[in-house]
A and B are shown apart, each in its own frame.
Chain A
Amino acid sequence: MNSAAPERLTIVLAPWCPHCVPLSVRHGRRLARLLKVPLRTLDIDRPAQERAADRLVARYGDAAPDYLIPQVFLEWSDGRVEHLLTGFSEQVARTDRAWKDLFRSRWLKGVLAGRKR
């Protein structure tokens, strides 16, 4: 059994993006609370944060010359970084639904059950 635990939730975002703020920040805060991990936001409009965001997206996320935001990542204690979600370009409401489905998912139930063990 994998004994790794979630360590940090990161959202790559921009303040002008309606899929990101306030929608994904709100859901991200809730998810971080459930997982008992800190939430980090990386704003692609701030050069230092943008560099960290670019590295994360290039290595673990959906990279493109002008990549989609938000992108959400969960870092684990064993060093793994799990890409959880990328915003749905079709519609802000579709990104909202993705977050809600993530909260209802078997995956999250499993992660939370693992935390209790």
Chain B
Amino acid sequence: MTVSGRVPPVLRRALAPDDPHCYRHCDRPLRARALTARTPGLLLVYACPGGAVSVVTYSEWRNRDPTPTLLAYARTHTLPPRLVRRWDLRTATRHGPELGRGAEAYMGKARPPRPLRAVYWRVYPTRTKDGSVRRLFACARHGRGNVRFFLAPGDAQSPRCPACATGGKKRAR
């Protein structure tokens, strides 16, 4: 067991929610898409089939605040980057006993002992001056590690991101 921050499969399964659904957009099941990034931990975006983002999470199995890592990733992949505000990121420490018997036993063997540290990026829908609602969407047309986050009308389904709309190249990295 290393202390690189990597989250092994047994702990990934323990962290996963049961059957999450899209809230205040379409009520369809959320899919957790693992993003490829140059980070040691587990980066997931929970979005519905229409692209509406519920939450983005980043978890590491080491006793270090993962917030700067997710903050940097989100700012690099959000159009415009100023949509990513520090107070929209919230941390959580996950201990073995709350993750089920398998994870508790697995984490109990780890040396040095350490919890999982997670950070959540959630952008709540906002109402603009004209009364319309805008919410966060993810565009996956640029490759698995290159998701783009952007705001679009709250009831949109699979809207095009600003890069797509301006004819940006859809090349996977």
Contacts and interface: CB of A to CB of B under 8 A. Distances in A.
Interface of A: 61-68, 83-91, 93-94, 97-99, 101-102, 104-108
Contact of B92 (A86, A91, A99): A86
Nearest to A86: B92
Interface string B92-114: 11111111110011001000000
What DSSP secondary structure best describes chain B's contact surface? mixed
Interface in B104-155: 104-105, 108, 120, 122
A65 B86 contact: yes
B61 interface: no
Given A64-B67, A84-B95, A107-B96, A91 B90 contact: no
Contacts of A61: 93
B17 interface: yes
B27 interface: no
Given A101-B97, A102-B98, A106-B104, A90 B57 contact: yes
Contacts of A102: 97-98
Interface in B41-76: 46, 54-55, 57, 67
B98 A66 contact: no
Interface string B20-58: 100000000000000000000000001000000011010
13 contacts: A62-B90, A62-B93, A68-B120, A86-B92, A89-B120, A90-B55, A90-B57, A91-B17, A99-B98, A106-B104, A107-B96, A107-B97, A107-B104
